[in-house]
Amino acid sequence: MAVEQNQRAAITAGVVCYLLWGFLPLYFHLLSLFGVNAFETIAHRTVWSVVWAGGLVVLAKQAKQVRRVLSEPKVLAWLAASTAAIFINWTVYVVAVHAGHVIEASLGYYINPLMNMAAGALLFRERMTGAGKIAISLAGIGVIVQTIAIGHLPVLSLALAASFCAYAVIRKRVAVDAQTGLFFECAYLALPGLAYVLWLERTGAGHFTDGANIALLLMLAGPATVAPLALFAWAARRMPLSTMGFLQFLAPTIQFLIGVALGEAFTPLRALSFAFIWAGVAVFAYGAWKAGQRARLAVQSAA
């Protein structure tokens, strides 16, 4: 009974995590309506995220691990590299939303799990299944069709997928917990972010002092960034990989629907490109589900 309750709690945390990520474009779009541009948004995101990430470290009682990381230059260097990757991802995503390219951004997060699978095979010699090869091939066709549909390579989509894939690869090599790693990543970005925010306010170009409502909205960038990451880290350790494989496509689906609702162009050729991407996603999810089934049967047989 306790195991079932933990499983339900993990699934709930996973669903909430991906719902938060899915609806994040609405938050950035709202900021743009107040006149906050992409780079001011990113700066506030770095400043307020370090506060919340520090709070998570305290709650998780990981101060000892923070001190250990501070004494290990190699780990600090790897975390600096992961910071660069996640900063590129954040920047591209916020710029995409502010520029009205939410659909193209959603495509990046459909491609990302398939790119992760390819990276695992190439870099970590993980075995790629037949379903995985089919999924990547279908996604590749989808990217080609998308290129034809929009008249150029979907740079935003590929940049989002590649930067988050690089982030995942780097973090796989760093022996620190999710909360501690996130705290250091936010800390690396916080000082430059704060300097930019102060410069904006000094020159009159900032919006933080325009009123309590906009100030509160900008401060929400912290929990909007940290809360889904914390839920993801908690759920991922307690949830079967197959279930996570299904849930991870919830966020880009919501983002895609938001892009359509905001009136972004969605031509028949673009719809065809997404059809190939969704087919690849379906094959990937089915493969993850089958792998989960086999793993459960193996555990039951061993028991």
The pTM score is 0.84
pLDDT for residue 179: 83
One digit per residue, pLDDT tens: the chain, 303 residues? 566 677 778 888 888 988 999 999 999 999 999 999 999 999 999 999 999 999 989 988 888 999 999 999 999 999 999 999 999 999 999 999 999 999 999 888 888 877 877 777 777 776 777 777 888 888 888 888 888 887 888 899 999 999 988 988 888 788 888 788 889 999 999 999 999 999 999 999 999 999 999 999 999 999 999 998 888 777 766 766 556 666 778 888 899 999 999 998 888 888 898 899 888 878 877 877 777 677 677 767 776
Dist CA 77 CA 288 (whole Å)? 33
Residues 6+ positions from 129 with CB-CB distance below 8 Å = 287, 291
Structure tokens at 153: 């390579």
* Cα dist from 33 to 36, 174, 260, whole Å: 7, 39, 18
Structure tokens at 259: 């892009």
Which DSSP string do the residues of 93-132 spell out, in sequence order? HHHHHHTT-HHHHHHHHHHHHHHHHHHHHHHS-PPPPHHH
Using an 8 Å Cβ cutoff, are 112 and 160 in contact?
Answer: yes
Q: What are phi and psi of 265, to 5 degrees?
A: -65, 130
Burial class (CB in 10 A: 0-12, 13-18, 19+), 152: exposed
pLDDT for residue 3: 60
Amino acid at 236: A
Q: What are phi and psi of 3, to 5 degrees?
A: -65, -40
Residue entry with tokens 């591209």: 92
- Helix 221-236 / helix 212-219 crossing angle, nearest 10 deg: 20
Using an 8 Å Cβ cutoff, are 85 and 167 in contact?
Answer: yes
Residues 6+ positions from 49 with CB-CB distance below 8 Å = 186, 189, 190, 221, 222, 225, 226
